[in-house]
Amino acid sequence: MTLTIINQAPGTTVFIPDVLLHGTSSEKYGLIQVRHHQGNFPPQTFEVNSHNFKLLVHLVQGENELIITQYSGKFVNGVPHYDQTPTYRPIQLTYHLNYKKMVENPTTNLCLLLAKDSPGVFDSPEYKIKREGNDINTAVRKLRFGARLMEAFTSEQMRRNGFGNRCFRFTEEAAIDSLSSQERGNVQRETVKVHVIRMDQTVAEIHDPNVAQQNPNGNNTGALFGWAADAVRKYMNENPGLESFKGENFQASCMIMDAHWDPSQNLLLGHAALGGNAGNLRLAIFGSQGLWSWPTCYEELYSAYSDCTKIDTSVCVNDCNECGSAWEALNISLGAFLHEIGHHLGCPHQPNGVMLRDYVILNRTFMTREFPCIRTGKPGYEPVLPTDECTWNRLDIMRFLYHPSFRIPIDFHDDTIIKNAWEIAEEPVISDMENRSIFVTANTGVYLVEIHVDGNPRAQLEFPPRLSNNGPGPQKELVLSYQDLQNHLRPEFRGKPMKLEILSVGLKQATVENDTWEDPQRIEHDFGLGRGTLAGFVTRCHGNTNNDDTGIIPIYGHGALSNIRVFHGGALDGIEFVHPESRSSTLFGKRTNGYSDVPIDADESVVSFNVRCGAWVDAVQVVTNKKVTPWYGNANGGHGAVIQCPTGYQLVALKGTVGGWVNSIQGIYIRRQK
Task: Please report which helix (H) or strand (E) contains residue 495, including its range.
Answer: none
Domain termination site, one of 516, 542, 557: 516
Amino acid making up residue 475: Q
Instruction: Check whether 247 has a pLDDT greater than 50.
Output: no
Evaluate whether residue 303 is within a structural domain.
yes
Do 442 and 534 belong to one domain? no
Evaluate whether residue 545 is within a structural domain.
yes
Do 196 and 269 belong to one domain? yes
Do 36 and 136 belong to one domain? no
> What is the signed CA dihedral for 165, 171, 176, 179, rounded to 10 degrees?
-40
pLDDT of residue 244: 53
Q: Using one digit for the tens of pLDDT, what is the confidence trace for 331-342?
A: 999 999 999 999
Evaluate whether residue 398 is within a structural domain.
no
Do 253 and 170 belong to one domain? yes
pLDDT of residue 520: 76
Do 254 and 273 belong to one domain? yes
User: Whole-angstrom distance between the N-terminal and C-terminal Cα of the chain?
Assistant: 72
Q: Please tell me whether residue 334 adopts helix, strand or coil conformation.
A: helix
Query: Could you confirm whether 340 is annotated as catalytic?
Result: yes
Of the ranges 17-21, 157-161, 243-247, 624-628, which one carries the lowest mean pLDDT score? 243-247
Instruction: Check whether 546 has a pLDDT greater than 80.
Output: no
Evaluate whether residue 386 is within a structural domain.
yes
Q: Distance from CA of residue 380 to its chain's centroid? A: 34
Query: Which tops the pLDDT comparison, 222 or 546?
Result: 222
Q: Please tell me whether residue 43 adopts helix, strand or coil conformation.
A: coil
Evaluate whether residue 261 is within a structural domain.
yes
Q: Please tell me whether residue 141 adopts helix, strand or coil conformation.
A: helix
Count Cβ atoms within 10 A of the Cβ of residue 239 and give its class: 0-12 exposed, 13-18 middle, 19 or more buried.
Answer: exposed
- Those residues whose C-beta lies under 8 Å from the C-beta of residue 228, and which sit 6 or more positions away, are 113, 199, 254, 256, 283, 285
Q: Please tell me whether residue 479 adopts helix, strand or coil conformation.
A: strand
Do 282 and 384 belong to one domain? yes
Q: What CATH number has the domain bearing residue 490?
A: 2.60.40
The conformation of residue 646, written as its DSSP 8-state character, comes to -
Do 147 and 19 belong to one domain? no
Evaluate whether residue 170 is within a structural domain.
yes
Q: Which of 151, 340, 370, 450 is catalytic?
A: 340
Do 157 and 291 belong to one domain? yes
- By C-alpha distance, which of 323, 218, 229, 214 is closest to 259? 214
Average pLDDT for 237-241: 83
pLDDT of residue 582: 66
Q: What CATH number has the domain bearing residue 608?
A: 2.100.10.30
Split at pLDDT 50, 70, 90, the class of 248 is low
Domain termination site, one of 99, 131, 150: 99
Q: Using one digit for the tens of pLDDT, what is the confidence trace for 303-353?
A: 999 999 999 999 999 998 999 999 999 999 999 999 999 999 999 999 999
Q: Using one digit for the tens of pLDDT, what is the confidence trace for 21-77?
A: 999 999 999 999 999 999 999 999 999 999 999 999 999 999 999 999 999 999 999
For residues 349 and 604, what is the distance between their CA atoms, to the nearest angstrom?
Answer: 47
pLDDT of residue 105: 94
Average pLDDT for 609-635: 96
Count of domains for the chain: 4
Evaluate whether residue 422 is within a structural domain.
no
pLDDT of residue 245: 44
**DSSP, residue by residue, 113-126:** EE-TT--------H
Task: Please report which helix (H) or strand (E) contains residue 399, including its range.
Answer: helix 394-401
Do 316 and 196 belong to one domain? yes
Q: Using one digit for the tens of pLDDT, what is the confidence trace for 501-525?
A: 999 999 999 999 887 777 778 899 9
pLDDT of residue 246: 44
Instruction: Check whether 417 has a pLDDT greater than 60.
Output: yes
For residues 447 and 416, what is the distance between their CA atoms, to the nearest angstrom?
Answer: 11
Whether the Cβ atoms of residue 319 and residue 332 lie closer than 8 Å to each other: yes
For residues 231 and 199, what is the distance between their CA atoms, to the nearest angstrom?
Answer: 5
Whether the Cβ atoms of residue 245 and residue 425 lie closer than 8 Å to each other: no
Residue 153's domain comprises 108-346+356-391
3-state secondary structure 558-603: CCECCEEEEEECCCEEEEEEEECCCCEEEEEECCCCCEEEEECCCC
Q: What CATH number has the domain bearing residue 33?
A: 2.60.40.10
Do 498 and 558 belong to one domain? no
Split at pLDDT 50, 70, 90, the class of 278 is confident
Q: Please tell me whether residue 286 adopts helix, strand or coil conformation.
A: strand
For residues 119 and 30, what is the distance between their CA atoms, to the nearest angstrom?
Answer: 44
Whether the Cβ atoms of residue 665 and residue 611 lie closer than 8 Å to each other: yes
Do 301 and 175 belong to one domain? yes
Task: Please report which helix (H) or strand (E) contains residue 498, including its range.
Answer: strand 498-504
Average pLDDT for 251-262: 98
Q: Using one digit for the tens of pLDDT, what is the confidence trace for 106-139?
A: 999 999 999 999 999 999 999 999 999 999 999 9
Beta strands in 309-372 (DSSP E): none
Instruction: Check whether 243 has a pLDDT greater than 80.
Output: no
Q: Which residues pair with 622 in a beta bridge?
A: 609
Average pLDDT, the chain: 94
Number of H helices, E strands in the chain: 10, 40
* In the chain, % of residues over pLDDT 90: 86
Evaluate whether residue 321 is within a structural domain.
yes
Whether the Cβ atoms of residue 539 and residue 669 lie closer than 8 Å to each other: yes
Q: Please tell me whether residue 339 adopts helix, strand or coil conformation.
A: helix
Q: Within 13 Å and on the Cβ side, how many CA atoms surround 516?
A: 23
pTM, two decimal places: 0.93
Do 187 and 287 belong to one domain? yes
Split at pLDDT 50, 70, 90, the class of 432 is confident
Domain termination site, one of 367, 391, 415: 391
For residues 652 and 558, what is the distance between their CA atoms, to the nearest angstrom?
Answer: 11
Instruction: Check whether 379 has a pLDDT greater than 80.
Output: yes
Whether the Cβ atoms of residue 647 and residue 524 lie closer than 8 Å to each other: no
pLDDT of residue 583: 76
For residues 160 and 376, what is the distance between their CA atoms, to the nearest angstrom?
Answer: 28
Query: Which tops the pLDDT comparison, 350 or 245?
Result: 350
Whether the Cβ atoms of residue 177 and residue 189 lie closer than 8 Å to each other: yes
